[in-house]
Structure 1
Amino acid sequence: MSITQSSSRTAPIPARPSVREHGARRARLGLVLLLGSLSAFGALTIDMYVPAMPSMAQQLATDASAVQATLTVFVIGLALGQVLAGPLSDAWGRRAPLLIGLGIYVIGSLGCALAPSVEWLIAARLIQSLGAATGTVLARAIARDLHSGTAMTRFLSTLMLVNGLAPVLAPVLGAQLLTWASWRAVFGVLVGIGTLLLLAVIAFLPESLPAHRRRPARTDAVLSGFGRLLADADLRRHVLAAALMFSAVFVYISGSAFVLQDLHGLSALEFGLVFGANGLGIVIAGWVNGRIVGRWASEATLLRGSLLVAAIGGLAVTACAFLRAPLPLLLVALFVTVSMLGPVLADATSLALAEHGDSAGTASSLQGMLQFLLAALAAWITSQLGTGPGIMGAAMTACVLLALLPLLVADLRRRRRCGPGSADARCRRG
């Protein structure tokens, strides 16, 4: 229904446009909260039970390495689950795989809560991880369905604000639960969270991939899609950057409970607060990245700068360990390194998916698979070398430098190949 003017003096009535704008803002906020929660699924499921790892080893009559195996298995399951969920979502749409995955997650979480032994717990964690993988991979794919270019980077940076709340709130909540209940209550809460997200997706998340943009789910088509993506050198570099930065933070996640609680004597609650502060750093850095990208700096520039800051922080962690620096200095160094996860994931993901909107699910699954497989490998290697802060810092630094090196090499080659004002599209890509 249109609004007409009765005379030239009558001003247009702005009520209906303002209502639509308000509704659009509210819908966008709801989408950000839901997709951010889904993308944080893996981190939430990891971080909430990290403060309980020492007590789990005692109550299940096992050692620290066996409890750490529940973390490693979870990460491997996240990688494998994304390989399945991503291509299937390109063929079936995003909603169906997401709903199936959330149901699997709830079942796996219930199995963890009831686990009578560490072997049972490891098996249930694998089931749980396969379900959690769908939220992690499909949140990125849906973001790519809806946005492109700098708009996608800003949207991903906004998701990191919600995503970053997981490491802020999860360990604190886990530590609080441990003050009056056993570690099993942590997984009981995860059952509830998974159920709420399942209901939210059913009620509020529409399909983002129309039928005409879907791709066949045949094995040969899926393998061809992965091959085409792997042939893109820019995608490989940016996927590797995201994966290795995540690996550096995962080394911290898997070892920090033993370093800060066992070696430095922090309580479960104090450790949760430290862990949460580092998560807050991810939120702040992601927010800043979203505000300045496209205005003051490009995604490529911010990605390299964030990795450089993370490398300096990792070196500082190592130096603090070998110089036996006071605990506050170690915590500051960890904060600097971990905080850079927010901008690195947003910028690297945007650059990786930029040219692959037609296969966003497969591209997202490739990033997720590499991200979690490398993280599991890095955590396993670090655990074999020891649980000291020096080893943890050196491993974090190595991961960040390995992420930064291919980008710097590509920059040098690009400068040699491209002169000022070059029309070659490859010269303009990050």
Structure 2
Amino acid sequence: MSGDRAGFFVRHRAPRVTPLLIVALGFLSMGSAFATDVYLPAMPGVVTDLRTTPAFVQATLTAFILAQALGNLVVGPMSDRWGRWRPLLISTVVFVLASTGAALAQDIWMLLAMRAIQGFASAAGPVISRAVVADLTSGVRAARLFSILMMLFGLAPVIAPLIGGPLTELGGWRLVMWGILALGAAGVIVSLLLPESLPSDRRRLVRLRSVVGDYVGLTRNRVFLTGSLIVMAAFGVVMTWLTTSSFVLQDHYGLSPTGYALTFGANSAGFGLAGLLNTALLRRFTPAAILRGAIFVIVGACGLLLVLALLDALSFWLLVVLVTIAFGSTAPLMANTTARALGAVRPTEVGTASAFLGAIEFVVPAVIAPILGMFGSSPVPAAAGFFAYAMLALLLWLRLRRMPEGAPLPGAGGVAA
């Protein structure tokens, strides 16, 4: 295939942003989230079936996320060297193979290994989706498209538990893993049809030393780094609930797997709706103004959640409402800061920057989340994690708002300041 390959979604040599392309990118970006969330209702069942502990089962989720962070760092530079399409196709095939191994796992160690490989391979979807948007758009238009991707991404936590709950009750966690395999197979088909957005003349030779140099250069880019850390803090709220919600809602509040799925879906609906609202608001307000409002909403919701949890006054319905508000706040935070961060790097480094942003987004939340899970099924640790991440986002936003928009400097990862 040629370097400027055209596919079904865009039939032009120079790809255009079409509704079908956006849906395809949304599907690819939500694949990793779906593979995480569909598994949540099945986690208590894994404990029983594989004769292990909740901490080890939570570790399968952490392994997935940490491996995804590592995969980000690999697939990003690959996509800058060989284009967006080839690394994506290879990764989706590996994901299918790992899903087969996970479904057939006979002990927790095999499941841990397969989930880690799944996570590594799943990195390509979000990284390359962001890179394609940055290849084709910039500024407010990029922020709108990232909002749409976030909205579609937000459908995964809504749909996945609704599928995972009934699958768990019907056939246990192994049936859930076969469902993840089916998702991966669909990803292979979409990858085959996706157009190439990075022309040959914008690709660059990638060596280990140059990749390390690019990542070091990005850490010196204040706008990129601060924006990426805000995305990390927002995702920390999501990750905290991903790893604790199954035990909090099923063990503490007594929900069934299906009841848990419905509740988690309601929480996650806030994310998707907020992404849609952010897209509409960008027609009237600047990304900076929307970001300011989202910061204050998430700090208020998470602060109230923690106070009520500490006072043992957190009813089930209050929990649902406050978590839904907090989830909703993360969508505009992630969309607008992603656009700001990727807009601050050189066009030839978009894939690498997208990968580094993804790695930053995942690493800290993936390490902290299982620690919170060690404190049992009480909602207090989850609420404390929510509030800590919200305050971190506030402090980082106070720094980001003082930085000028600027354009990338000629130096690696540089930005005008």
Shared fold per TM-score greater than 0.5? yes
Cα drift, residue 341 of structure 1: 2.1
Cα drift, residue 304 of structure 1: 2.8
Q: Where do 5+ consecutive residues of structure 1 fail to align? A: 1-19, 21-25
For residues 237-276 of structure 1, what are the structure 2 equivalents within 5 Å?
A: 237-276=226-265
The question of whether the paired residues in 2 share the 8 Å contact of 1:319 and 1:390 is answered with no
Match of 2:169 among 156, 174, 179: 179
Identify the range of structure 1 (319-328 vs 74-83) with the bigger mean alpha-carbon deviation. 319-328
Mapped to 2, the partners of 1:168 and 1:345 lie a distance apart of 18
Cα drift, residue 279 of structure 1: 1.6
- 1:313 is matched with which residue? 301
Q: Does 1:300 align with 2:284?
A: no
For residues 37-56 of structure 1, what are the structure 2 equivalents within 5 Å?
A: 37-56=27-46
Cα drift, residue 429 of structure 1: 8.9
The question of whether the paired residues in 1 share the 8 Å contact of 2:281 and 2:290 is answered with no
Superposed CA deviations along residues 134-193 of structure 1, whole A, max 9, x for unmatched, are 112111111111111101110111112211110010001000112211110111011111
The question of whether the paired residues in 2 share the 8 Å contact of 1:108 and 1:124 is answered with yes
Which structure would you say has the larger Rg?
1
The question of whether the paired residues in 2 share the 8 Å contact of 1:320 and 1:330 is answered with no
Cα drift, residue 33 of structure 1: 1.4
Mapped to 2, the partners of 1:49 and 1:319 lie a distance apart of 30
Identify the range of structure 1 (29-38 vs 384-393) with the bigger mean alpha-carbon deviation. 384-393
Match of 1:401 among 348, 370, 391: 391
The question of whether the paired residues in 1 share the 8 Å contact of 2:299 and 2:387 is answered with yes
Mapped to 1, the partners of 2:399 and 2:218 lie a distance apart of 20
Mapped to 2, the partners of 1:384 and 1:182 lie a distance apart of 24
Match of 1:290 among 243, 264, 279: 279
Mapped to 2, the partners of 1:367 and 1:386 lie a distance apart of 31
Cα drift, residue 338 of structure 1: 1.1
Q: Does 1:213 align with 2:217?
A: no
Cα drift, residue 406 of structure 1: 2.2
Superposed CA deviations along residues 405-428 of structure 1, whole A, max 9, x for unmatched, are 0221344x56xxx9xxxx9889x9
Amino acid at match of 1:377: V
Question: Measured at CA, do residues 397 and 429 of structure 1 come closer, stay the same or move farther in structure 2, by a change above 3 Å?
Answer: farther
For residues 23-422 of structure 1, what are the structure 2 equivalents within 5 Å?
A: 28-202=18-192, 204-293=193-282, 295-325=283-313, 326-356=315-345, 357-411=347-401
Q: In structure 2, the residue corresponding to 1:208 is in which secondary structure?
A: coil
Superposed CA deviations along residues 317-374 of structure 1, whole A, max 9, x for unmatched, are 2122223332111111111111122111111100000122321111111111111101
Amino acid at match of 1:115: A
- 1:5 is matched with which residue? none
Identity %: 36
Amino acid at match of 1:345: M
Superposed CA deviations along residues 117-136 of structure 1, whole A, max 9, x for unmatched, are 11110000011111101112
Question: Measured at CA, do residues 108 and 42 of structure 1 come closer, stay the same or move farther in structure 2, by a change above 3 Å?
Answer: same
RMSD of the TM alignment (CA)? 2.3
The question of whether the paired residues in 2 share the 8 Å contact of 1:91 and 1:217 is answered with yes
Amino acid at match of 1:132: S
The question of whether the paired residues in 2 share the 8 Å contact of 1:251 and 1:379 is answered with yes
Q: In structure 1, the residue corresponding to 2:159 is in which secondary structure?
A: helix
Superposed CA deviations along residues 215-244 of structure 1, whole A, max 9, x for unmatched, are 211112212211221111111110000011
Cα drift, residue 308 of structure 1: 2.0
The question of whether the paired residues in 2 share the 8 Å contact of 1:82 and 1:134 is answered with yes
Amino acid at match of 1:323: L
Q: In structure 1, the residue corresponding to 2:170 is in which secondary structure?
A: coil
Aligned pairs, how many?
397
- 1:17 is matched with which residue? none
Amino acid at match of 2:22: V
Mapped to 1, the partners of 2:17 and 2:204 lie a distance apart of 28
Superposed CA deviations along residues 351-400 of structure 1, whole A, max 9, x for unmatched, are 00012232111111111111110111220331244442111101111012
Q: In structure 1, the residue corresponding to 2:171 is in which secondary structure?
A: coil
Superposed CA deviations along residues 186-210 of structure 1, whole A, max 9, x for unmatched, are 11011111111111221x2111000
Question: Measured at CA, do residues 245 and 27 of structure 1 come closer, stay the same or move farther in structure 2, by a change above 3 Å?
Answer: closer
The question of whether the paired residues in 1 share the 8 Å contact of 2:375 and 2:381 is answered with yes
Amino acid at match of 2:177: F
Superposed CA deviations along residues 300-329 of structure 1, whole A, max 9, x for unmatched, are 222232122112111122122223332111
Cα drift, residue 109 of structure 1: 0.7
Mapped to 2, the partners of 1:171 and 1:410 lie a distance apart of 35
Amino acid at match of 1:363: A
